[in-house]
Amino acid sequence: MKKMFWICGLLLLLTACGQREEAVEGNLILTNYAAGSISHVTVEYDGGSASSEEAVSDTQLCAFTLPEGEDRAYTVSFETAEGNTVSGNFTDDFTGGNTVYLRADQEDGVWRLEYDEVS
């Protein structure tokens, strides 16, 4: 009986660790606030690009690290579950540890990509 108690406790501990959210690293963070998932998130900037093909569901994050630079122009794009591509052009300061937060959202069937307000 004592062994069964310890085995159940260990299984619960391992399950909780697997569901723990890990810290997000990057200076460009995109959060999907829509009920539908997005995928194939790509960031293109002068001198390079970064991408992730993984699906990003409701309130999940996708993080990228852009090289430091003032007034860095970049384009973010992603694919919706319906197969459409949404993109937006931005210019931001990525110096001194600055982090930029963007949001993907869908309202009345229309997808938006814009800056996210971080509290």
User: Is 47 part of any domain?
Assistant: yes
Q: Is the dihedral of CA 44, 49, 54, 58 positive or negative?
A: negative
Instruction: Domain of residue 74: give its range.
Output: 25-115
pLDDT in tens, 51-109: 999 999 999 999 999 999 999 999 999 999 999 999 999 999 999 999 999 999 999 99
Is pTM, for the whole model, over 0.75? yes
Tokens of 50: 């970064």
Domain count for the chain, please give it. 1
Torsion of CA 105, 107, 110, 111, to 10 degrees: 0
> What is the spatial order of strands in the sheet that 61-64 belongs to?
61-64, 28-32, 100-107, 110-115
- Residue 5 resides in a domain: no
CATH value at residue 110: 2.60.40.2890
Residue 37 domain-assigned (yes or no): yes
Q: Report the C-alpha gap between 6 and 72 in whole angstroms.
A: 54
